[in-house]
């Protein structure tokens, strides 16, 4: 088992034991399993998923750093992170649309375009995680089981 800890500037989001964790790094997506080599990597906006005996959980991050230690500890320092149930889909859709509009109007302003593109990437990840959470919750309610 691995010990996963996810921290944002606002709070410790999670401390739990997991079988594996998948993270979006700047060099691509990685999955950390027990006995993984020590590693430090920059994270991009995207989805983090982790597997436990009870199932798989997801949340969105907007960047940060991960450190995988030799003893099986994984420390994620995220710029921001949200569980699927915390994400307001309507607000995320509006933010995604605003980012697209800024990108469309910022073709002469490179910094504004890059900032808007990063915002768009963040909001797309948030929407993906929120929709996964909603789908899973809906399926669990139909089957008569409750989400963990």
Residue 59: which pLDDT band, with cuts at 50, 70 and 90? confident
Residues with Cβ within 8 Å of residue 57, at least 6 apart in sequence: 49, 50, 83, 148
pLDDT at 142: 47
Quote the CATH superfamily of domain 2-83: F0F1 ATP synthase delta/epsilon subunit, N-terminal (2.60.15.10)
Q: What is the mean pLDDT of residues 66-82?
A: 94
Reference 92, options 112, 121, 117; nearest CA is 121
In 10 A of CB 148, how many CB atoms?
8
* pLDDT, mean over the chain: 83
* Residue 107 pLDDT exceeds 70: no
The pLDDT tens digits for 129-147 are 777 766 665 454 444 444 4
Higher pLDDT, 18 or 83: 18
CA distance 148 to 16: 13
Confidence tier at 86 by pLDDT (50, 70, 90): confident
């Amino acid at each position: 088992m691995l010990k996963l800890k996810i921290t944002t500037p606002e709070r410790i989001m999670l401390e739990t034991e997991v079988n594996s964790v998948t993270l979006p790094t700047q060099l691509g997506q990685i999955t950390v399993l027990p006995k993984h080599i020590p590693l430090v990597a920059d994270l991009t906006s995207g989805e983090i998923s982790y597997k436990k005996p009870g199932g798989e959980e997801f949340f969105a991050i907007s960047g940060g750093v991960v450190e995988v230690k030799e003893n099986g500890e994984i420390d994620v320092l995220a710029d921001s992170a949200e569980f699927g149930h915390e994400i307001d889909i309507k607000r995320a859709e509006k933010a995604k649309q605003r980012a697209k509009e800024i990108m469309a109007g910022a073709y002469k302003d490179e910094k504004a375009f890059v900032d808007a593109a990063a915002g768009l990437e963040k909001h797309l990840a948030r929407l993906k995680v929120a929709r996964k959470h909603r789908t899973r919750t809906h399926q669990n309610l139909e089957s008569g089981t409750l989400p963990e």
